[in-house]
Amino acid sequence: MIRGIRGAATVEDNAAEEILSATKSLISEIIEKNKVHPEEISHIWITVSPDLNATFPARALRDLEGFDRVPVMCAQEIPVDGALERCIRMMVTAETSLSQAAVQHVYSGEAVRLRPDLVQKS
């Protein structure tokens, strides 16, 4: 079954190093929690809030083993008044045997406010 796995993280500053680090951490946690391998990923969409433009978050995935052939696209979120700032959002579309209820979405930093209903309690 093809499933969407959501994730989001925030950074303190519009700095390339922070954006890349948060993106690597986000994809790593999504993969670990959902036992997904790069070969099972159809594609990944990454969006950023309008205040993040220091780098393309997709660059972070180029350094990860197995991701050289995974299609990744970056885009900017629409600028909605009051939206969460300095936020990176990710949608991983992957083949998995997990049910929708078993998929573990990953939210970190201030991004836990986006979907508190999906945040897994540790």
Asked if 59 is an active-site residue, the reply is no
Asked if 62 is an active-site residue, the reply is yes
One-letter amino acid for residue 29 of the chain: E
**107 marked as part of a ligand binding site:** yes
Asked if 69 is an active-site residue, the reply is no
Contacts of 87 (CB under 8 A, 6+ apart): 8, 9, 10, 48, 49, 52, 77, 110, 111, 114
Q: Are 84 and 115 in contact (CB under 8 A)?
A: no
Asked if 3 is an active-site residue, the reply is no
Asked if 74 is an active-site residue, the reply is yes
Which of 6, 29, 40, 110 is labelled catalytic? 6
Asked if 77 is an active-site residue, the reply is yes
Q: Are 18 and 60 in contact (CB under 8 A)?
A: no
Which of 32, 62, 95, 113 is labelled catalytic? 62
Asked if 87 is an active-site residue, the reply is no
Which of 40, 59, 74, 110 is labelled catalytic? 74
Quickly count helices (H) and strands (E) in the chain.
2, 5
* CB count in 10 Å sphere of residue 67: 18
* Residues that constitute the known binding site for prephenate: 6, 89, 107
Report, as residue numbers or ranges, the catalytic residues: 6, 62, 74, 77, 89, 107, 115
* Residues that constitute the known binding site: 6, 89, 107
